[in-house]
Amino acid sequence: MIEDGAVRLESEPEAMEDAAADSDDSAQPRRVGTVVVRIIVNLVVALPFFLAGAFGMVADDRLAQASLAVMLVGALVVLVGLYVSILSRPRLSLMRGEETLALRHPSMKPAFARIVLSVPFFVAAGYLLEFTGLPYLYPFLPFLVGMYMYFRGVIKYWINHHTTYYVTNRRAVRMYRFGWLDTTEIPVNAINSISQTRSLLETVTGRGSVLVASGIGARHKVRMEEIDNPGPVAETVRQLIP
Protein backbone atom coordinates (compact mmCIF):
# COMPACT_ATOMS: atom_id res chain seq x y z
CA MET A 1 0.00 0.00 0.00
CA ILE A 2 1.42 3.35 -0.98
CA GLU A 3 0.58 6.00 1.55
CA ASP A 4 -0.59 9.54 0.86
CA GLY A 5 0.23 9.63 -2.80
CA ALA A 6 3.84 8.59 -2.38
CA VAL A 7 5.27 7.67 -5.78
CA ARG A 8 6.88 4.37 -6.67
CA LEU A 9 10.26 5.19 -8.16
CA GLU A 10 12.32 2.71 -10.06
CA SER A 11 13.59 5.04 -12.68
CA GLU A 12 16.98 3.46 -13.32
CA PRO A 13 16.94 0.74 -15.94
CA GLU A 14 19.15 -1.46 -13.80
CA ALA A 15 16.94 -0.95 -10.77
CA MET A 16 13.96 -1.94 -12.86
CA GLU A 17 15.90 -4.91 -14.13
CA ASP A 18 16.71 -5.96 -10.59
CA ALA A 19 13.13 -5.62 -9.59
CA ALA A 20 12.03 -7.58 -12.62
CA ALA A 21 14.50 -10.34 -11.83
CA ASP A 22 12.44 -11.20 -8.77
CA SER A 23 9.34 -11.95 -10.71
CA ASP A 24 10.12 -12.33 -14.40
CA ASP A 25 11.53 -15.62 -15.73
CA SER A 26 12.74 -13.92 -18.92
CA ALA A 27 15.05 -11.76 -16.82
CA GLN A 28 17.60 -14.59 -16.52
CA PRO A 29 19.13 -14.10 -20.02
CA ARG A 30 19.21 -10.34 -19.37
CA ARG A 31 21.04 -10.94 -16.11
CA VAL A 32 23.60 -13.11 -17.93
CA GLY A 33 24.00 -10.34 -20.50
CA THR A 34 24.55 -7.79 -17.75
CA VAL A 35 27.20 -9.99 -16.12
CA VAL A 36 28.97 -10.41 -19.46
CA VAL A 37 28.98 -6.63 -19.99
CA ARG A 38 30.39 -6.12 -16.49
CA ILE A 39 33.13 -8.68 -17.15
CA ILE A 40 34.06 -6.86 -20.37
CA VAL A 41 34.14 -3.54 -18.51
CA ASN A 42 36.46 -5.08 -15.91
CA LEU A 43 38.75 -6.41 -18.61
CA VAL A 44 38.89 -2.96 -20.21
CA VAL A 45 39.59 -1.39 -16.81
CA ALA A 46 42.46 -3.85 -16.20
CA LEU A 47 43.81 -3.53 -19.74
CA PRO A 48 46.37 -0.76 -18.94
CA PHE A 49 48.12 -3.09 -16.48
CA PHE A 50 48.39 -5.88 -19.04
CA LEU A 51 49.59 -3.48 -21.73
CA ALA A 52 52.17 -1.89 -19.41
CA GLY A 53 53.36 -5.33 -18.28
CA ALA A 54 53.65 -6.65 -21.83
CA PHE A 55 55.47 -3.50 -22.94
CA GLY A 56 57.92 -3.81 -20.05
CA MET A 57 58.67 -7.44 -20.88
CA VAL A 58 59.27 -6.72 -24.55
CA ALA A 59 61.17 -3.46 -24.02
CA ASP A 60 63.75 -4.55 -21.47
CA ASP A 61 64.65 -7.87 -19.87
CA ARG A 62 65.54 -6.06 -16.66
CA LEU A 63 61.89 -5.06 -16.30
CA ALA A 64 60.64 -8.64 -16.46
CA GLN A 65 59.94 -9.03 -12.75
CA ALA A 66 58.35 -5.61 -12.40
CA SER A 67 56.28 -6.26 -15.52
CA LEU A 68 55.07 -9.51 -14.04
CA ALA A 69 54.10 -7.71 -10.83
CA VAL A 70 52.18 -5.09 -12.83
CA MET A 71 50.36 -7.84 -14.73
CA LEU A 72 49.52 -9.54 -11.44
CA VAL A 73 47.87 -6.31 -10.26
CA GLY A 74 45.87 -6.38 -13.52
CA ALA A 75 44.91 -10.00 -12.81
CA LEU A 76 43.83 -8.97 -9.30
CA VAL A 77 41.61 -6.24 -10.77
CA VAL A 78 40.06 -8.78 -13.16
CA LEU A 79 39.52 -11.38 -10.42
CA VAL A 80 37.87 -8.97 -8.00
CA GLY A 81 35.91 -7.57 -10.95
CA LEU A 82 34.71 -11.07 -11.83
CA TYR A 83 33.62 -11.62 -8.25
CA VAL A 84 31.83 -8.29 -8.27
CA SER A 85 30.19 -9.08 -11.60
CA ILE A 86 28.88 -12.46 -10.57
CA LEU A 87 27.71 -11.42 -7.11
CA SER A 88 24.21 -10.04 -7.32
CA ARG A 89 23.15 -6.78 -5.74
CA PRO A 90 21.70 -6.83 -2.25
CA ARG A 91 17.91 -7.02 -2.10
CA LEU A 92 15.69 -6.04 0.76
CA SER A 93 13.38 -8.57 2.37
CA LEU A 94 10.10 -6.80 2.73
CA MET A 95 7.93 -7.25 5.77
CA ARG A 96 4.25 -8.01 5.59
CA GLY A 97 2.45 -4.93 4.26
CA GLU A 98 5.68 -3.23 3.28
CA GLU A 99 6.07 -1.80 -0.22
CA THR A 100 9.07 -0.50 -2.10
CA LEU A 101 8.52 3.13 -3.09
CA ALA A 102 11.98 3.92 -4.42
CA LEU A 103 14.88 1.73 -5.38
CA ARG A 104 18.14 3.26 -6.51
CA HIS A 105 21.75 2.39 -7.15
CA PRO A 106 24.56 4.95 -7.16
CA SER A 107 25.40 6.30 -10.58
CA MET A 108 28.47 4.84 -12.26
CA LYS A 109 29.37 8.15 -13.91
CA PRO A 110 31.59 9.42 -11.05
CA ALA A 111 33.51 6.13 -11.05
CA PHE A 112 34.15 6.26 -14.78
CA ALA A 113 34.95 9.97 -14.55
CA ARG A 114 37.70 9.26 -12.01
CA ILE A 115 39.19 6.56 -14.21
CA VAL A 116 39.16 8.86 -17.26
CA LEU A 117 40.55 11.80 -15.28
CA SER A 118 43.53 9.70 -14.19
CA VAL A 119 44.75 9.45 -17.80
CA PRO A 120 46.26 12.99 -18.05
CA PHE A 121 48.28 12.32 -14.91
CA PHE A 122 49.73 9.15 -16.43
CA VAL A 123 50.55 11.05 -19.61
CA ALA A 124 52.30 13.76 -17.56
CA ALA A 125 54.24 11.16 -15.57
CA GLY A 126 55.32 9.39 -18.75
CA TYR A 127 56.43 12.66 -20.31
CA LEU A 128 58.44 13.71 -17.26
CA LEU A 129 60.07 10.29 -17.06
CA GLU A 130 60.94 9.77 -20.70
CA PHE A 131 61.43 13.23 -22.14
CA THR A 132 63.04 15.14 -19.29
CA GLY A 133 65.98 14.40 -17.04
CA LEU A 134 64.25 15.61 -13.91
CA PRO A 135 64.66 13.64 -10.69
CA TYR A 136 62.23 10.76 -10.28
CA LEU A 137 60.17 12.64 -7.70
CA TYR A 138 58.67 14.77 -10.48
CA PRO A 139 57.22 11.93 -12.58
CA PHE A 140 56.41 9.96 -9.42
CA LEU A 141 54.00 12.57 -8.04
CA PRO A 142 51.63 12.69 -11.03
CA PHE A 143 51.91 8.92 -11.30
CA LEU A 144 50.82 8.62 -7.67
CA VAL A 145 47.88 11.01 -8.19
CA GLY A 146 46.88 9.16 -11.36
CA MET A 147 47.02 5.76 -9.69
CA TYR A 148 45.04 7.07 -6.73
CA MET A 149 42.31 8.45 -8.99
CA TYR A 150 42.31 5.31 -11.09
CA PHE A 151 41.88 3.00 -8.10
CA ARG A 152 39.34 5.37 -6.52
CA GLY A 153 37.33 5.00 -9.72
CA VAL A 154 37.70 1.23 -9.85
CA ILE A 155 36.84 0.78 -6.16
CA LYS A 156 33.90 3.16 -6.53
CA TYR A 157 32.72 1.12 -9.51
CA TRP A 158 32.84 -2.07 -7.44
CA ILE A 159 31.19 -0.48 -4.40
CA ASN A 160 28.41 1.03 -6.49
CA HIS A 161 27.64 -2.37 -7.98
CA HIS A 162 26.80 -3.65 -4.54
CA THR A 163 25.07 -0.70 -3.00
CA THR A 164 21.29 -0.40 -3.09
CA TYR A 165 19.08 2.28 -1.60
CA TYR A 166 15.49 1.51 -0.72
CA VAL A 167 12.68 3.72 0.41
CA THR A 168 9.69 1.70 1.53
CA ASN A 169 6.53 2.83 3.25
CA ARG A 170 8.19 1.80 6.53
CA ARG A 171 11.88 2.63 6.30
CA ALA A 172 14.79 4.13 4.37
CA VAL A 173 17.56 1.60 3.82
CA ARG A 174 21.10 1.56 2.52
CA MET A 175 22.45 -1.91 1.76
CA TYR A 176 26.02 -2.77 0.86
CA ARG A 177 27.13 -6.30 0.22
CA PHE A 178 30.63 -7.32 -0.75
CA GLY A 179 30.88 -10.80 0.66
CA TRP A 180 29.45 -9.43 3.88
CA LEU A 181 26.30 -7.38 4.30
CA ASP A 182 26.21 -3.91 5.81
CA THR A 183 22.74 -2.45 6.24
CA THR A 184 21.76 0.92 7.64
CA GLU A 185 18.06 1.65 7.99
CA ILE A 186 15.87 4.28 9.58
CA PRO A 187 12.22 3.67 10.35
CA VAL A 188 9.94 6.21 8.73
CA ASN A 189 8.51 7.39 12.04
CA ALA A 190 12.03 8.12 13.34
CA ILE A 191 13.07 10.36 10.45
CA ASN A 192 13.64 13.91 11.66
CA SER A 193 15.71 15.33 8.84
CA ILE A 194 15.85 15.09 5.06
CA SER A 195 18.35 16.99 3.00
CA GLN A 196 19.25 16.95 -0.63
CA THR A 197 22.69 18.02 -1.83
CA ARG A 198 24.02 18.62 -5.32
CA SER A 199 27.36 19.98 -6.34
CA LEU A 200 27.63 22.11 -9.45
CA LEU A 201 28.83 19.14 -11.48
CA GLU A 202 26.08 16.95 -10.08
CA THR A 203 23.49 19.56 -10.98
CA VAL A 204 24.74 19.61 -14.54
CA THR A 205 24.71 15.83 -14.80
CA GLY A 206 21.38 15.38 -13.01
CA ARG A 207 22.76 13.60 -9.98
CA GLY A 208 22.79 14.31 -6.28
CA SER A 209 22.58 12.87 -2.78
CA VAL A 210 19.72 12.52 -0.36
CA LEU A 211 20.46 12.37 3.35
CA VAL A 212 17.85 10.87 5.61
CA ALA A 213 18.64 11.18 9.32
CA SER A 214 17.09 10.22 12.63
CA GLY A 215 19.85 11.51 14.88
CA ILE A 216 23.58 12.06 15.14
CA GLY A 217 26.05 9.41 14.10
CA ALA A 218 26.65 7.24 11.04
CA ARG A 219 24.15 4.60 12.14
CA HIS A 220 21.40 7.21 12.32
CA LYS A 221 21.90 8.40 8.77
CA VAL A 222 21.11 6.90 5.40
CA ARG A 223 23.06 8.77 2.76
CA MET A 224 21.88 7.93 -0.72
CA GLU A 225 24.95 9.10 -2.56
CA GLU A 226 25.34 10.07 -6.19
CA ILE A 227 21.99 8.83 -7.39
CA ASP A 228 20.41 9.96 -10.61
CA ASN A 229 17.49 12.36 -10.29
CA PRO A 230 17.44 12.57 -6.47
CA GLY A 231 14.54 15.06 -6.26
CA PRO A 232 11.67 12.56 -6.49
CA VAL A 233 13.39 10.27 -3.95
CA ALA A 234 13.65 13.10 -1.44
CA GLU A 235 10.04 14.02 -2.13
CA THR A 236 8.92 10.45 -1.57
CA VAL A 237 10.64 10.36 1.82
CA ARG A 238 9.13 13.74 2.79
CA GLN A 239 5.67 12.47 2.08
CA LEU A 240 6.24 9.56 4.43
CA ILE A 241 7.08 11.69 7.46
CA PRO A 242 4.11 11.72 9.80
Partner 1 sequence: MEQVSLAALPQRAAPEPNNAPEVVRTVSDRTLRVGESIALDVSSVFIDLDGDPVTEYRWTFGDPDVADGSESAPGELTLDGKQVGTTSVGVRAYDGQIWSDELTFDVEVEERRGFFINSTSVEESLGQWDILDPVTLSLLGIMLTLVATGVQLFKGR
Residues at the interface with partner 1 (CB under 8 A) = 62-63, 66, 69-70, 73, 129, 133-137, 139-140, 143-144, 147-148, 150-152, 154-156, 158-159, 162-163, 176, 178, 182, 223, 225
Confirm if 85 and 42 have CB atoms less than 8 A apart: yes
Q: To the nearest whole angstrom, how small is the minimum distance from the Cβ of residue 198 to partner 1?
A: 19
Closest CA to 99 of 180, 7, 174: 7
Confirm if 128 and 118 have CB atoms less than 8 A apart: no
Which residue lies nearer to partner 1 by CB, 15 or 52?
52
184 DSSP β-pair partners: 174
Burial of 43 (0-12, 13-18, 19+ CB in 10 A): middle
CA 162 to CA 85: how far, in whole Å?
A: 10
Q: To the nearest whole angstrom, how small is the minimum distance from the Cβ of residue 155 to partner 1?
A: 5
Which residue lies nearer to partner 1 by CB, 152 or 198?
152
Q: To the nearest whole angstrom, how small is the minimum distance from the Cβ of residue 186 to partner 1?
A: 16
Give the single-character DSSP code of 188. G
Which residue lies nearer to partner 1 by CB, 184 or 239?
184
Which residue lies nearer to partner 1 by CB, 163 or 169?
163
Q: To the nearest whole angstrom, how small is the minimum distance from the Cβ of residue 5 to partner 1?
A: 32
